[in-house]
Amino acid sequence: MQVDTLIVHGRVIDPLNDVDKTLDVAIKDGKVFKVGENLNVAATETFDATGCLVTPGLIDAHVHCYEYATPISLNADKRCLSRGVTTVIDAGSSGASTFMGLRKYVMERSKTRVKCLLHIAMHGLASAGLSAGAGGGESDTLAILDEDSCVKCIQDNRDVIVGVKVRLSTDVCAMGKTEYEAYRRALNAAERCSVPLMTHHSMSTIPTQRALDPSAKLCCPGDLRPGDIYTHTYVGYPSTIVDAETRDVYSDVMDAKSRGVLFDVGHGAGGFNWTVAEIACKQNLYPDLLGTDLHVFSQDGPAYDLPSVMTKFLHIGMPLYDVVKSVTSAPALAYGITGETGSLTTGIAGDVTILKIDDCDFMLEDSVGQLRNIRRIIRHLAVWREGERIPVTFPKHLPSEESQQRSLKNLKDQEVKD
């Protein structure tokens, strides 16, 4: 038997199949052919993964890749696939009126597998200010928050739309006037389609803890359903999950976790605070998903790429197996795409990533300029997408002093910080 690629002697971590041991992986005709010990097959290409991790192709649960159509989006092949990420979930760059462009010009033309969350706002992020200071936003008017159009678009494109997205921040919702209705309509659309809702929740009029505003009609994450996703989990801005006085995670947040609400990192340029993450993880609120929120303002720091975000949570103390799970089987299950990716099951697409943990010694920034001394780094060495080996690239500067200085501008707005 001749296979196309044989990866030998690596530590295979495949959480969906409960595998963590030294095995060989064979790929044939673009699919996983076999995984086992000392496979006796001839191969066109053999890769020696001794001392490395062999994982299913990495999945980034939160990116923005509607390149050129939205002001923050990047190229998924150049910035994700070449960094070991074979599948990305675009988190709300498009809405019902702009989705077909994402499908035709990004999804159908990318080597990267691209799925998306559909924004409840019909134009998505095509002409929206960014939260954290920019004036105006995509949900400023109720007319654009068309629940029926969102539902129809999802129903017509079930193969690639895997959920709904809404941003709950005062400055993208008419200074808070439309936040409740944006949230309500997004919840309804997701429920009608039986898909998860991802909420961006920062500097919001929607309370994190119901006791903070007992009269509130909805809170977040308290009114999310099991399987819904709370992103930018570890921010220190107003609406943070941590009580600034007690330094404890709010009880409503822990209750949501116990109910099955999923928590995503959503690192981005302003969505990750070392202090909040350390407090939360000490209280066992580790992320379910390690979404990078990679976009043009975070790709050269402070997020860099998915292996860099993985590195940060390895530093915090998240077990390696769980780190791998959060970028493979967990997002595949969350978005209902286990039939396509997220494991090394025989017959599935031959998406494989090779990682290596190296010793290092440098200071790495969060999104607000705070630093931690990193001593172990996760690096990507090789990646195959449907059996095709893809050349890898690396950040030009990691760490980046420019990124560290740029991120410091966010520090003054943090309710929780060092």
Look at residue 186 and tell me if it is in a domain.
Answer: yes
Look at residue 216 and tell me if it is in a domain.
Answer: yes
Average pLDDT, the chain: 96
Residue 89: pLDDT above 90? yes
Widest pairwise Cα distance in the chain: 68
Residue type, 356: K
Task: Take residue 151 and report the two structure tokens written for it.
Answer: 């539902």
**Cβ atoms of residues 66 and 124 within 8 Å:** yes
* pLDDT at res. 126: 86
* pLDDT at res. 128: 62
Banded model confidence at residue 171, pLDDT cuts 50, 70, 90: confident
- DSSP E strand stretches across 235-329: 262-263
How many domains does the chain fold into? 1
Average pLDDT over residues 243-250: 97
* Paired sense of beta strands 197-201 and 229-231, if any: parallel
Per DSSP, the residues of 18-55 read TEEEEEEEEEETTEEEEEETT---EEEEEEE-TTSEEE
pLDDT by residue (tens digit) across 328-382?
Answer: 999 999 999 999 999 999 999 999 999 999 999 999 999 999 999 999 999 999 9
* pLDDT at res. 134: 55
Residue 302 preceded by cis peptide, ω within 30: yes
SS3 (DSSP) at 360 = strand
Q: Which of 76-80, 168-172, 246-250, 352-356 has the lowest mean pLDDT?
A: 168-172
Strand partners, 45: 5
Look at residue 2 and tell me if it is in a domain.
Answer: no
Residue type, 165: K
In percent, the amount of the chain with pLDDT more than 90 equals 96
* pLDDT at res. 217: 94
Environment class of 143 (CB within 10 Å of its CB; exposed 0-12, middle 13-18, buried 19+):
exposed
**Cβ atoms of residues 115 and 161 within 8 Å:** yes
Which CATH number belongs to the domain containing residue 192 in this structure? Answer: 3.20.20.140
Q: Which domain holds residue 280?
A: 58-334
Residue 129: pLDDT above 80? no
Task: Take residue 70 and report the two structure tokens written for it.
Answer: 């939205």
- DSSP E strand stretches across 234-370: 262-263, 352-365
Look at residue 175 and tell me if it is in a domain.
Answer: yes
Look at residue 415 and tell me if it is in a domain.
Answer: no
* Paired sense of beta strands 161-168 and 113-119, if any: parallel
Average pLDDT over residues 138-167: 97
Q: Give the full edge-to-edge strand order of the sheet including 262-263.
A: 58-63, 85-95, 113-119, 161-168, 197-201, 229-231, 262-263
* pLDDT at res. 135: 66
Task: Take residue 381 and report the two structure tokens written for it.
Answer: 């060495």
* pLDDT at res. 132: 43
